[in-house]
Structure formats: structure tokens, C-alpha cells
Structure 1
Amino acid sequence: MTTQDLAPCESTRAQIASTVWFSVLIPGLGHLLQKQRGWALFWFVTSQFLLISGFYLADFSQLDYGSPLGIGGNTIIYFLIPESGNFLSAQIFARMYDSIESGGRYPTEIPWRNLGYIMSAMSGFLGIFSAVHAAGILSRSSASSSHAKTLLNPGSAALLSFMLPGLGHYKTGRKFKGVLLGGSIMALFIVGMMLGDWADFDRQRHSYYWVGQMCMGGSGWLTALMSEPAKFTSVMPYQDVGLLFTTAAGFFNIVASLDAFHRAEHDILILEPSNDISE
């Protein structure tokens, strides 16, 4: 068997798949099904607090950036990225409230609008990463090796890389790769922000690019908060290039997070007696 062939057994993969679906539906539910009550409470409370607070701070103007999807005029789901990562709660709010524009108000009238956008987006991303974390717990707990159970949860490695590019790789012992990936992604993001004069991180102005920028995780969220007062004073000649750079950096960060999960899971699987790669 080669290292490329390493994978959890079929029954574990089936459990991981169901855990992921339940966690995306309600953050923490996947942990609860594994009897991880502490983690279940943490993910549920954190995700719901951020979503509810974010919606109220932005006066539900997030709904202006979503689209109802349905058949024959009947809405089945409300497509709102990234808030739909906290799926069920986002759907409930979308049906209970209307966007402020339908009431004749304009988003710029809301003083805490951008903070609300960031908080509700954090809820969606954390909802997704609660699923990743739950999958990592299941992957590690299914290992027969006692040493494997002491290794870093693959979901934690992914979350660390998401919050700070490269950190998940660094914590699993891949220090050079962590620094290389983290440095490259952060450099791309910072150069992009500089090209946009640090004022090009705005959901209202560039809603699609904004989603990609928010994929930068903790570093992106902090940048969004710090750059919120910045306003364009003139047309920037390389503004579009800056948008592409920052959005690409966010997407690369997601790829790096998935790779961190894979590497941490590999460290667990390679210790399994049935996965002897010396053949």
C-alpha cells in the first residue's frame, strides 16, 4: 500500500459523511451524535450567537445578498453565502424577516452594518468548520493505535490553517510547508489590499469578491474590521487586480485548510497496523 492509498475504512467514511451533514444543518449536532457534549455546546452557542448578533447589527440587510431558490414561486431554500454554512438557522431567519431594502431603507444608514456582516459570515464559516472538526474527531477516535489518538485532530489542523494560513501545517510538524503556504497566501492578500488602498473589502460594493475575501479566516476578518473606515478618494488603477488577489488568497486558504486536514489525517492513518506502506 502506498501513502496515496491511505483512507479511513468504509464504515468510518459513512459515519463521517453523516456527521458532516448533521453538523452543517445545525452546528454542534455532529458532535452531539458522537456524545461530545462539550464541543457540541461550544459550536452551537458560538455559531448561533454570531449569526443572531450579526443579523441584528446589520438589520437583516444580509438578506439583500441572498436568493430564494424554489419551484413554482415556492421557496425551498434561501441561498445566502456564507451564512448558509449555519444552514437551518439561516433558513429560519430568511423566512422570518425581510431585508431592509424592501422597507425602503439603505444599508449605509446602519452604523454597525459591516460588523454585522462579519459576524454572520463567521457563523457560516464556523458552521462548516464544526463539521470538519467533528469529522476529525471521528477519524481520530476510530484509530486503533493509542499514539494516533494523541495526535492533533485533523479538524483542528484545518481550523488553525483557516484562522491563520499555514498554522495547521506548522502544528503538525510541517514547519517549512506552513511558513511557505502561510507566507505566500498572506503576501498575496496584503498586496491585493494595498492595490485597493485598503478600502476594497466591502460587501455592499463587491458582494461576490467579499465572500472570497472572507475565506481568509481570522486574518481576513481582522483586516475587514480595521479597514472598514477606509473610503475611496479616487479611482484606483489596479483596483480590479487587488480584488482578484485578495479573493484568490481566500480560496487558496480554503485549499490549504483542506490540505492541513489531509496531512493530519495521514499522520493518524499511517500508524494503523492495516496500513503498512512498506509493501
Structure 2
Amino acid sequence: MLSQPMPITPVPLRNRYLAAFLAWLVPGSGHLYQGRTAKGILYALCILSLYFLGFALGDGKIVYWRWVNPMQNPDKFCLHYVGQFFVGLPALPALVQSTLEYYGLPTILGGFMAVPSSNVINGLQGYGKLIEVGTIYTTVAGLLNVLAIYDAFDGPAYADLDEEAELALAAPSEVKLEGLKAEGSA
């Protein structure tokens, strides 16, 4: 027996653009703004814990950005930061530090999240695979937040039933044998 689908109750998304911006700025905050508290706490807990665990595994030196042309200097290009950027505020100091450095200004916050020197980067090799795992964790946290940002912007996904499916659910389950011809010999 087929059960009837539950009625869809739309979620009031408030200002979707502000919700998406807040979801980027601090993971989960866009959902909290929309009143979707459980989902906001879940996103914040999962994404931020993954990010900060990776940050700790990398000794705080794996989230940084360099203003270089990837075509001219691919070895210096920080592709991992493209993903890390989407964690929002926790990864933003790296962009600020790099921008200050690019314009020849002194870094702030004691150089926190500034581009590490070659000696520091080479010294991180002593940590072995932890650096790679930390980089992957921080990058994946940012990429997961892209999904959270989209959810804050567009809301929950509902499957729309087409008219035929609705009619099939509403009609009794009878086999219609009209118009069938029996062929062959008995």
C-alpha cells in the first residue's frame, strides 16, 4: 500500500543574500539567522571542528595565500587556499596578511597566517603526513561550507511530484485490462 506524501511546509528564508553571506562569514550563522537552529549548530560544529583540527595538525602554518600568477609561478600558487577561503572569517587573516605584504606594508597580528618563510615550510616536512592531512582537512572544511552557503541561500530541497505521480498515488491500485488483446493459440 502506498502512503500519502507528507505536506511540504516551506521554510521562511528571510533575506537569502544576507543568510548566504553570514553562512560564509561564520559557518552555521546563516542558518541561525534563518531560525534553523539545529542545522546551524550542526554546520558550525562540523565545519569549524574540521577546520581547526586541520589547522592544529598543520601547526597553524598551512593556511596562507600568495598573490602570484598560477601560470607563471605554479610552485608558489596556493591552490589549497581557494578551498580554505570558503570557511570565511577563520581563514580571512591569511588573505589580509598576503594583501598587506603584496603592497609592501607590514603584516599585522604578529604575522599570524602570513606567508611562512621557506625555512618554516621546509621545517614542516618533519611533521610528515600530518601537514598533508591538515591541509586536506582545512580545504575540505571550506568546500563543505560551500554546500552550507548554498543551503542557506536556497533553502531545503524538496522533490516536486509531477501530475502523473500525484494521480498514481491518488488512484486505487487496480490493474486496467481494457484495450488489451489476447494473441496466440491456446
- Class of the TM-score when normalised by the shorter of the 2 chains: 0.5 to 0.7
**Could you tell me how far apart the structure 2 residues matched to 1:200 and 1:212 are?**
12
Deviations 1:131-178 (A, max 9, x none): xxxxxxxxxxxxxxxxx7xx7211111110010000010111111211
1:68-217 → structure 2 map (5 Å cutoff): 152-204=14-66, 205=76, 207-217=78-88
SS at structure 2 position matched to 1:227? coil
SS at structure 2 position matched to 1:3? coil
Give TM-score scaled by structure 2 length. 0.57
Q: CA deviation at 1:262?
A: 2.0
Between structure 1 and structure 2, the one with the greater Rg is 2
What are the ranges of 5 or more consecutive residues in structure 1 without an aligned counterpart?
A: 7-147, 267-279
Q: 1:241 to 1:187 in 2, by over 3 A?
A: same
1:256 maps to amino acid: A
Across the aligned residues of Structure 1 and Structure 2, the Cα RMSD in angstroms comes to: 2.9
Q: 1:229 to 1:202 in 2, by over 3 A?
A: closer
SS at structure 2 position matched to 1:209? helix
Q: CA deviation at 1:261?
A: 1.2
Q: 1:211 to 1:234 in 2, by over 3 A?
A: closer
Equivalence for 1:89: none
**Could you tell me how far apart the structure 2 residues matched to 1:164 and 1:171 are?**
11
Q: 1:192 to 1:206 in 2, by over 3 A?
A: farther
2:148 maps to amino acid: A
Larger proportion of helix: 1
SS at structure 1 position matched to 2:59? coil
Q: CA deviation at 1:227?
A: 2.0
Q: 1:200 to 1:221 in 2, by over 3 A?
A: same
1:3 maps to amino acid: I
Q: 1:184 to 1:223 in 2, by over 3 A?
A: farther
Would you say the 8 A contact 1:154–1:264 is kept in 2?
no
Q: Would you say how many aligned residue pairs link Structure 1 and Structure 2?
A: 123
Q: CA deviation at 1:265?
A: 10
What are the ranges of 5 or more consecutive residues in structure 2 without an aligned counterpart?
A: 67-75, 98-111, 159-186
Would you say the 8 A contact 2:54–2:133 is kept in 1?
yes
SS at structure 1 position matched to 2:150? helix
Structure with greater contact order relative to length (CA < 8 Å, sep ≥ 6): 2
Q: CA deviation at 1:234?
A: 3.8
Q: CA deviation at 1:220?
A: 1.4
Equivalence for 2:140: 248
**Could you tell me how far apart the structure 2 residues matched to 1:199 and 1:181 are?**
24
Would you say the 8 A contact 2:124–2:131 is kept in 1?
no
**Could you tell me how far apart the structure 1 residues matched to 2:62 and 2:32 are?**
30
Identity %, equivalent residues: 29
SS at structure 2 position matched to 1:200? coil
